[in-house]
Structure 1
Amino acid sequence: MPKILAFPGSIRRDAWNRKLIQVAVDATRAAGGDVTLIDLADYPLPLYNGDLEDRDGLPDNALRLKALFKDHDALLIASPEYNSSIPPLLKNTLDWVSREWQGESGLMPYQNKVAALMAASPGQFGGMRMLPHLRQILNTLGVLVLPGQFSLPGADKAFDEESGALKSPARLHDLVLELVNTTAALKRA
């Protein structure tokens, strides 16, 4: 069973991407994935600064995140779009996790990982302009990002108010099934 680390790229309490990641986690578990859902608010990090790193080394939360990334086979990320790109919280997290530590390559936590990317927005683009930026960053770090992705425009009307379920989940289910199957196949190879 593939181990999948899931997280939203937002720490806003009522963020659409927090709702989306929860729906995706449930669907991934139903598809056979062993999912660990984390909240980046539980891992506060300073803004990446090489001088700070040289002086103090990696922050404890960066080391905790590196360990989580290394312990999982895949990533499931739902991120908002900020000015047509990824939010600074997510970029900062990816940067800290990519830092070399005690002789270990900074790419180690990303090597042999598969990722599925999602975005939600109340606007008409649904985070679509951010997804290529996140894909490029993860590819550069050595992550195999699935060709399919999930963009949810009109997120303010896309969830059932009572259950929190996505009203039209078929494309999301296809993506998480692809994540589970691809990750499992690569583990067997």
Structure 2
Amino acid sequence: MQTFRLLCLAGSTRTDSYNYALAGTMAKQLSLTGINATLISLEDYPLPLFNADDETEKGLPDNAVRLSKLLAQHDGVFIASPEYNASLTPLLKNTLDWISRVPSDGRDPFNTPVFAIGSASPGKLGGMRSLAHLRQILVALGAIVIPEQISIGSAGNAFDDKGDLTGDREAAFLNNCASKLVQTAQRLKSLA
């Protein structure tokens, strides 16, 4: 069986972030199925606020280049996006903007991996509005984003002490999203 590498991250660095918990739960689910899954925190890749003048004067930040290469090295990426004012976080948007500026030297960070998205929120909508914007941005960057996604409402009660989802419905959505991400990544890798 081929080895598939999947990357999981969250658009939040907040302490006890529900979305980092969701990204961790996805990484755990993928690992349980034998997939090589890696969970990263954007806190480990700080970036300045995107400014084209700074890019011209100082060049690309090292962390933008590192993240671009990291995405391109994986067959699939899961992004958990919090919802801020009915959209994605400034942190996530800024990160995607910087990565999009890195010239591709082989595998493209948006065209190579397959993307899946999810959100966890204390509200009842579960961050659904952020996912529409995130999907739109990723597609504009040339990414393939699977239709299956996961949205966790009332996130304060959604995870147990081990980081697993407490609700059967939410766990089923996570399993479906993980399965479709792996299937799509496998199919596209076999065509390459």
- Give secondary structure in 1 for the equivalent of 2:118: strand
Match of 1:112 in 2: 112
* Distance in 1 separating the partners of 2:26 and 2:8: 9
Contact 1:112/1:142 (8 A) holds in 2: no
* Distance in 2 separating the partners of 1:51 and 1:176: 40
Query: Where does the alignment leave 5 or more consecutive residues of structure 2 unmatched?
Result: none
Contact 2:68/2:102 (8 A) holds in 1: no
Amino acid at match of 1:118: G
Contact 1:9/1:17 (8 A) holds in 2: yes
Q: Could you tell me how far 1:164 is from its partner in structure 2?
A: 2.5
- Give secondary structure in 2 for the equivalent of 1:48: coil
Query: Where does the alignment leave 5 or more consecutive residues of structure 1 unmatched?
Result: none
Match of 1:79 in 2: 81
Superposed CA deviations along residues 130-160 of structure 1, whole A, max 9, x for unmatched, are 1010000000111110111100001111112
Residue from 39, 52, 55 that aligns with 2:54: 52
Contact 2:19/2:119 (8 A) holds in 1: yes
* Distance in 2 separating the partners of 1:22 and 1:146: 19
Amino acid at match of 1:126: G
Contact 2:12/2:81 (8 A) holds in 1: yes
* Distance in 1 separating the partners of 2:5 and 2:102: 23
* Distance in 1 separating the partners of 2:72 and 2:147: 22
* Distance in 1 separating the partners of 2:182 and 2:108: 21
Residue from 9, 12, 15 that aligns with 2:11: 9
Match of 1:165 in 2: 164
Q: How well do the aligned residues superpose, as a CA RMSD in angstroms? A: 1.4
Superposed CA deviations along residues 1-54 of structure 1, whole A, max 9, x for unmatched, are 221111011000211111111111111112332112111000000000000000
* Distance in 2 separating the partners of 1:25 and 1:43: 19
Amino acid at match of 1:163: K
Contact 1:146/1:179 (8 A) holds in 2: yes
* Distance in 1 separating the partners of 2:77 and 2:163: 22
* Distance in 2 separating the partners of 1:93 and 1:6: 14
- Give secondary structure in 1 for the equivalent of 2:129: coil
Match of 2:134 in 1: 134
- TM-score, normalising length from structure 1? 0.93
Higher helix fraction (1 or 2): 2
- Give secondary structure in 1 for the equivalent of 2:77: strand
The share of aligned pairs that are identical, in percent, is 48
Match of 2:33 in 1: 31
* Distance in 1 separating the partners of 2:113 and 2:158: 30
Match of 1:143 in 2: 143
Q: Could you tell me how far 1:88 is from its partner in structure 2?
A: 0.5
Q: Which runs of 4+ in 1 moved over 6 A?
A: none
Q: Could you tell me how far 1:108 is from its partner in structure 2?
A: 2.5
Superposed CA deviations along residues 104-140 of structure 1, whole A, max 9, x for unmatched, are 48x9221132111000001111000110100000001
